[in-house]
Each structure stands twice: as structure tokens, then as C-alpha cells.
Amino acid sequence: MFSQGWLLVGALLLAIGLGAHAGGPFLIGAVLLLGAGASYLSHRYCLERVEFRRTFAPRRAFYGEEITLVIEVTNRKLLPLAWLEVTDELPVEIVPRRGRVIPSLRQRRQHLVHLFALRWYERVRRRVIVACAARGYFALGPVRLRSGDFFGLTSQGRTLDDVDHLIVYPKVVPLAALGLPALHPLGDLRAPRPLLEDPTRTVGARDYQTTDPRRRIHWKATARLGRLQTRQYETTTAHRLAVFLNMDTLGAYAEYRGFVRPVLELNIMVAASVAAWANERTVPVGVFANGYLPEGLRRVRLAPALGDAHLTGILEALAKVYPTPVIPLGDLLTLEAGGLPWGSTVAVVTAVVDAPLRAGIAFARDAGHAVVLVLVGDQVADPELGVPTYRVRGEVGWRAMDEIRLV
């Protein structure tokens, strides 16, 4: 902005020109005063009634997909803007395909910078294609506006608390791409499903047979009828799959020691792919993880169910879950396995095997569930727990992450 000295010089030249009837000093003084007035007005009101809007579609995407980010700026006043700088803060996991990007002082953040010139009552839109380079729950914003006088001598800024959220689902790939047998972990579902008895649902009693286990004796019916009676349980053909995801990638319950991001992301991709595989085959599937969600710091706990809406909820939870464990997965198995329907299949996806996990798997088996262990990465050894065990090698997982198309 013109200083008071320049204003005095302009007023003095204007007075000299008027008094001496000299055109030169008068013209120079008038230009200085007009310039000072224009500079003051543009500096004072440049950001008044300037509106910013950010939109993008879709608002949910899968890892590796691209979305369109639309930046809209409107100048709702008579004063034009010679320049307007819009700095939008984005996570580093959201990668613009074009545009000026500068680092941010905040960790894992960056700035996408736009420069506009706006006439009076003009609206300008810019579209930027951005790639979703990681799964997660990402905040876009805030945004900072900066403008100034016509001469570029001064500027002022304003920060808008304009924050949107983008959910990027983990990548989902066919199980064969991960090196897992195509019809496992539930077995060949094309074969007729056997009838399973649910010991939590007694529907009657019958006479005792010598082949019946003692734990099935219905003592109340025996006392009433005077002869040994055996419980009859409700039968079902429903398979249920419960995926238990271990967020621990370092072992020894590494809540305060960080995590190995590539291994963690591979863990999550495997869990998401297993859930999608089960849903495609009309098998009720649920997901339990020893990490918290941002809403209310609640644990990931989605009971087995069926349907695309339920699968979407699973993928959203896996996108949002915090990356550090809050409880050993074995303890989580012990807490949740007793509440699962009898005869469920428990698929444990983990990159580490520790004592609590061994105990949790034993508890799940004792509770009447079939347990399948999926070991992720190259560092974990086969624990030889007597359950079907499969391995997703790191090289196979990274290739699936990078090359296999989404399903």
C-alpha cells in the first residue's frame, strides 16, 4: 500500500499543479492519489464477499481409483480481483494429476495452489483429477485465500474452515491373486451343505441312546419322564464367516511402538478381499479388528450378515480404522468368539503370532468354531496350531496391490 509519505507527495504535487497551472505536477499528483485510493480499496475489500466451494465425486472410492476435484471461486462484488491465490490443503495420499503442489508444515499434508483473476460478479471453476494412492479416511481442507491490491504491493489472507472428508476403501482382489485357494477358507460351497446342530437352541428331547454324549442329556426331561432323555437341537445349513483382523504388525502388542505400514495395508487388503469373496457367495460375513474407529473411539465389531450394504459397511470400517492395536487380537478372539453362532468359521488374518493369539484360537475352537489362519508377509513363521493355515507372501501381495484390477 502507498505510505503516508507518498500521499503527501501526491497532495503536494496536485496543489503545485493547481496553483501554478502546471499540467505535469497536477497529473503526477492525481495519479499518485488515485493509485493510493485504488490500492487502499483493493487491499481493504479484496476478500470481502469472496466465496469458495470444493466438490468432488464420487465421495467414496477404492484404492487406486481417480476422482474429480472441483474448485469453485465466486467474487460477489463490484470490485474486481487482479489476483487471488487459493491454497487447498490435502493429504499426501491424494495425488493431483496436475497443478502446483507444495509441501505443508503439517505431517503427511500438502498444498494444492490455484491462482485466479476475477472480474466483478464472476465465478470460476477448476477441475483437477486426483488419484487415491492409499486407503483411509481423509480430510480435505482447510483452505486459505490470499489477495491484495492491484499493484501487488500488499496482501492479506483468510483461512476458511472448509473441510470435506473422502473415504478410500481398501483394494479388493480375487483370493487367487493372493495365492489363496479359490474355494477356501470355507470349503467347496458348490457341494450340498451339511446340516449343523446349534447347541444354543434346544427344540425338544428324545430317548437316550448309548452313542449320545453325556453333555447332551436333558436332565429336566429325564426327571419328568423317569428315563434318560437327550436334547434335540435346531439344525441349520447356514455358514457364517467371522474375519478377525490383527492391526499389530510388530508383535508383543505394539500399541506404543508404531506399525509397519506396508504390512498393515496388506493385512487390511486381505481381510477386505475375504469379506468380499464371502459376500459374493452369499455367505454371511462379519469383521472384527483390534483397532478403533474415529467415531466415538469404538472398536471394529461387525457381526456376520449378508448383503451389499453390509459389505459396504465393512469396507468403510476398514478404511477408517486407526492403524495401531488397542487390544491383543487373541484377547479380542476370546471376547467375541463366545458370542458367534455355533459352527461359525473364524478366519484370523495376521502378520504376527503371539501367546494371546494362540490362546484365542484355542478358545474359538473349544467354542465350536472352525478356525482358519491366514498369515500375511514373509516374517511370520507357521505356528503349527493344528488349524488350516494359508500364507499371503509379501511379493504376491504387493503384485496384487499394484496390478490386479478391482472386483
Query: CB burial class (10 A; 0-12, 13-18, 19+) of residue 8?
Result: exposed
- Quote the pLDDT of residue 203: 57
Burial string for 236-248 (b: 16+ CB within 10 Å, else e) reads beebbbbbbbbbb
Q: Which of 131, 124, 112 is nearest to 80 (CA)?
A: 124
Q: Please, which residues have CB within 8 angstroms of residue 39's CB and are 6 or more apart in sequence? A: 1, 2, 149, 150, 151, 153, 154
- Quote the pLDDT of residue 191: 35
Q: Using only C-alpha atoms, what is the Rg of the chain?
A: 33
* Domain parsing of the chain, residue ranges: 50-169, 175-191+238-403, 196-236
Q: What is the pLDDT along the chain (407 residues), one digit of tens a residue?
A: 455 555 555 556 556 666 676 666 657 656 655 666 566 667 788 899 999 999 998 899 999 899 999 999 999 999 899 899 999 999 999 999 999 999 999 999 999 999 999 999 999 999 999 999 999 999 999 999 999 877 666 789 999 999 999 999 999 999 888 888 754 444 443 333 443 455 655 657 778 887 777 777 888 888 888 888 888 765 444 578 999 999 999 876 555 567 888 899 999 999 999 999 999 988 899 999 999 898 877 789 999 999 999 999 999 999 999 988 888 999 999 999 989 988 889 999 999 999 999 999 999 999 989 899 999 988 888 888 889 899 998 877 767 766 533 33
- Quote the pLDDT of residue 407: 32
Q: SS3 for the chain, per residue?
A: CCCHHHHHHHHHHHHHHHHHCCHHHHHHHHHHHHHHHHHHHHHHHCCCCEEEEEEEECCEEECCCEEEEEEEEEECCCCCEEEEEEEEEEECCEEECCCEEEECCCCCEEEEEEEEEECCCEEEEEEEEEEECCCEEEEECCEEEEEECCCCCCEEEEEECCCEEEEEECCCCCHHHHCCCCCCCCCCCCCCCCCEEEEEEEEEEEECCCCCCHHHECHHHHHHHCCCEEEEEEEECCCCEEEEECCCCCCCCCCCCCCCHHHHHHHHHHHHHHHHHHHHCCCCEEEEEEEECCCCCCEEEEEEECCHHHHHHHHHHHHHCCCCCCCCHHHHHHHHHCCCCCCCEEEEEECCCCHHHHHHHHHHHHCCCEEEEEEECCCCCCCCCCCCEEEECHHHHHHHHHHCCCC
Q: Which of 338, 328, 143, 334 is nearest to 251 (CA)?
A: 328
Q: Please, which residues have CB within 8 angstroms of residue 214's CB and are 6 or more apart in sequence? A: none
- Quote the pLDDT of residue 378: 86
**Greatest CA span in the chain, whole angstroms?**
133
- Quote the pLDDT of residue 188: 40
CA neighbours closer than 13 Å in the CB half-sphere of residue 122:
12
Report the C-alpha gap between 171 and 62 in whole angstroms. 6
Question: Which fold does the domain 50-169 belong to in CATH?
Answer: Immunoglobulin-like (2.60.40)
Q: Which residue has the cell 509379501?
A: 394
Report the C-alpha gap between 46 and 155 in whole angstroms. 9
From its phi and psi, is residue 173 left (phi > 0), alpha (psi between -120 and 50) or beta? Answer: beta
- Quote the pLDDT of residue 319: 97
Question: Measured on CA atoms in the order 120, 123, 127, 128, is the torsion positive or negative?
Answer: positive
* CATH number, span 175-191+238-403: 3.40.50
pTM, two decimal places: 0.78
Strand partners, 202: 233
CA neighbours closer than 13 Å in the CB half-sphere of residue 153:
13
